[in-house]
Structure 1
Amino acid sequence: MLPVERQKKMIDLLMIKKVMKMPELKEELEISIDTLRRDINTLAEQGKLKKIYGGVKLAEPKFGEASMEERMITHLDEKTAIAKKCKSFIEDGDCIYLDSGSTTYQIAKYIKDKRNLTVITNSVPVILELMNSAVELIVIGGKVRKNERSVVTYDYLFNFHQLNIQKAFICASGITMDKGISDYNVEEALARKKIVELSQEVYVAADSSKFGRNVTVNITGLDEIDYIVTDERADEETVKRFDKVRTELIISSE
């Protein structure tokens, strides 16, 4: 296994377990203690993890939210599985919304073969992915958030109510049973609120690390969300809780 592959696997493990001891990491990665120390030092220098007594933990993002570049490669297998599952709900002739997020971007890769599909989006990566396909693209106009590669807009810039969205696929940075879904940025949250209001069906595409987190800005409660599509690492307790709400939890797998 190449160093970059080992280091990615280490970050993925820490995303799930939060804190890990050196012997546990050594066993999981099947490497020597010297190799493990070198990988840890590399990731620590990059600011991706923090050394603690006897082990390591993930470094907290300086401003709360990880960069888009980091999110594009983190939990990639899970996001790919989620995207493929979401594709199964998209039919020929649909008009859908694809949000500006690393998981919804993956969906764009798998829908190019759909016939008469219209995609409304505020995501620059989604636009670039679908630019040379047969998919009809409608781009929401407004202010460009360069770090997020997204466009945020307001009622006075874009007439949201002219949109006829059958299925919206949105992202979330946090999901809890009592508060619903949340995000770090106010402008992104406002755009998502509008899309949730206007869409006939709302899908949240989010990997299992988002559960149990309630971040800066609330988007909406679970009562406004029809489906949450996540990966098979979602814990049993989380899955059971969805038996008591209207939102259907859908588990994706490769």
Structure 2
Amino acid sequence: MLKIKRVQQIQEYVFEHESVSLDDLGTVFGVSKTTIRRDIRKLIKEGMIQKIYGGVAINHAKLESFNERKTRNPVQKHLIAKTAADYVENGDVIFIDSGTTTLEMIRFLKNKQVTIITNNLDIIVEALPFENLNIISTGGILERDTKSFSSYNKPNSFEKYNFDKVFMASTGVSISNGVTNSSPLESEIKEITVKGTSDVFLLVDHTKFEKYAMVTYCRLEEIDYLITDDLPDESYQNYAKENNIELVVTKE
């Protein structure tokens, strides 16, 4: 196995299990403890993983809180959310993913008759005053940093929902790594939601391109609509055309 691929798989394994010993990592990846130490040194330097006695663990302090992300690029998020909400029709059953941009959609849906399934606490609270918005929570354990529900106890039953449209958030987007997220605990719901729906909308501002987080929850070609605030470079424009992705750039 190539080193770069092994390092990526190690970080995914650590995020899945939260903490692991060096012996376990050596057994799982079939390499010596010396090799494992060398691989995790790179991950520790990046800050997403921290060293603990006998092994490594997720560096939870590195995961940005929902409130910290909420204050970044507010104008762009507002415009992206408004554009996304224009695609929602009365009677639609939609999924709104946990994210600071997707949260902004509620203010533009408040006059529509819509059923919203969501994994985010703030989205539920924002929608609460509007009786025309029927809200269904995915349930599970509340992650306070991200204000999202994770560890859904029966994720496969989530497939029973026939969504008309889903609106997804992302920590980073790239052609090579796809659509990624910082919290592996949220990723299973995201993955199931995208695979089970025909109209998938990705809401990301221009700062998210050419970046990636720890977990890839879908490939970029699985997206149907990519809504952003600025036209991405030519490689993304060509990729969108080749994969029938509608690239939507917001207007003020």
Give the structure-1-normalised TM-score: 0.71
> Residues of 2 paired with 1:64 and 1:147: CA distance?
11
Coordinate RMSD, CA, aligned: 2.0
Q: What does residue 23 of structure 1 align with? A: none
Q: Pick from 187, 200, 225: which aligns with 1:227? A: 225
Q: What does residue 8 of structure 2 align with? A: none
Amino acid at match of 2:224: D
Q: What does residue 108 of structure 1 align with? A: 106
Q: Which runs of 5+ in 1 are unaligned?
A: 1-60
What per-residue deviation string (whole Å, max 9, x for no partner) do you get for residues 223-244 of structure 1? 2111111102644554344333
> Which runs of structure 2 are paired with 1:143-154 in the superposition (5 Å)?
143-154=141-152
Instruction: Quote how far apart the aligned CAs of 1:68 are.
Output: 1.1
Instruction: Quote how far apart the aligned CAs of 1:157 are.
Output: 6.5
> Residues of 1 paired with 2:155 and 2:190: CA distance?
15
Q: Pick from 65, 68, 76: which aligns with 2:66? A: 68
Amino acid at match of 2:201: Y
Q: What does residue 187 of structure 1 align with? A: 185
Amino acid at match of 1:225: I
Q: What does residue 243 of structure 2 align with? A: 245
Task: Give the paired residue count.
Answer: 193
Instruction: Quote how far apart the aligned CAs of 1:121 are.
Output: 0.5
Give the structure-2-normalised TM-score: 0.71
Instruction: Quote how far apart the aligned CAs of 1:214 are.
Output: 1.9
Structure 1 residue runs of 4 or more that deviate by more than 3 Å after TM superposition? 61-65, 233-241
> Residues of 1 paired with 2:219 and 2:62: CA distance?
22
> Residues of 1 paired with 2:147 and 2:60: CA distance?
19
**SS of residue in 2 equivalent to 1:186:** coil
Answer yes or no: is the 8 Å Cα contact 1:140–1:153 preserved in 2: no
Q: What does residue 208 of structure 1 align with? A: 206
> Residues of 1 paired with 2:233 and 2:222: CA distance?
23
> Residues of 1 paired with 2:108 and 2:245: CA distance?
25
> Residues of 2 paired with 1:163 and 1:62: CA distance?
32
> Residues of 2 paired with 1:202 and 1:185: CA distance?
20
> Residues of 2 paired with 1:207 and 1:87: CA distance?
16
What per-residue deviation string (whole Å, max 9, x for no partner) do you get for residues 195-245 of structure 1? 112223110111111100122111111221111111026445543443333
Q: What does residue 172 of structure 1 align with? A: 170
Instruction: Determine if the alignment matches structure 1 residue 120 to structure 2 residue 120.
Output: no
Percent identity, please.
28
> Residues of 2 paired with 1:230 and 1:73: CA distance?
17
Instruction: Quote how far apart the aligned CAs of 1:183 are.
Output: 0.8
Distance of aligned partners of 1:161 and 1:155 in 2 relative to their CA distance in 1, 3 Å threshold = farther
When structure 1 is superposed on structure 2, of 190-199 and 120-129 the one drifting more is 190-199
Answer yes or no: is the 8 Å Cα contact 1:142–1:157 preserved in 2: no
Q: Which runs of 5+ in 2 are unaligned?
A: 1-58
Distance of aligned partners of 1:162 and 1:238 in 2 relative to their CA distance in 1, 3 Å threshold = closer
Answer yes or no: is the 8 Å Cα contact 1:141–1:157 preserved in 2: no
Distance of aligned partners of 1:157 and 1:195 in 2 relative to their CA distance in 1, 3 Å threshold = closer
Q: What does residue 48 of structure 2 align with? A: none
Distance of aligned partners of 1:193 and 1:158 in 2 relative to their CA distance in 1, 3 Å threshold = closer
Answer yes or no: is the 8 Å Cα contact 2:97–2:168 preserved in 1: yes
Q: What does residue 98 of structure 1 align with? A: 96
Instruction: Quote how far apart the aligned CAs of 1:248 are.
Output: 1.9
Q: What does residue 40 of structure 2 align with? A: none
**SS of residue in 1 equivalent to 2:192:** helix
When structure 1 is superposed on structure 2, of 121-130 and 151-160 the one drifting more is 151-160
Distance of aligned partners of 1:209 and 1:164 in 2 relative to their CA distance in 1, 3 Å threshold = same
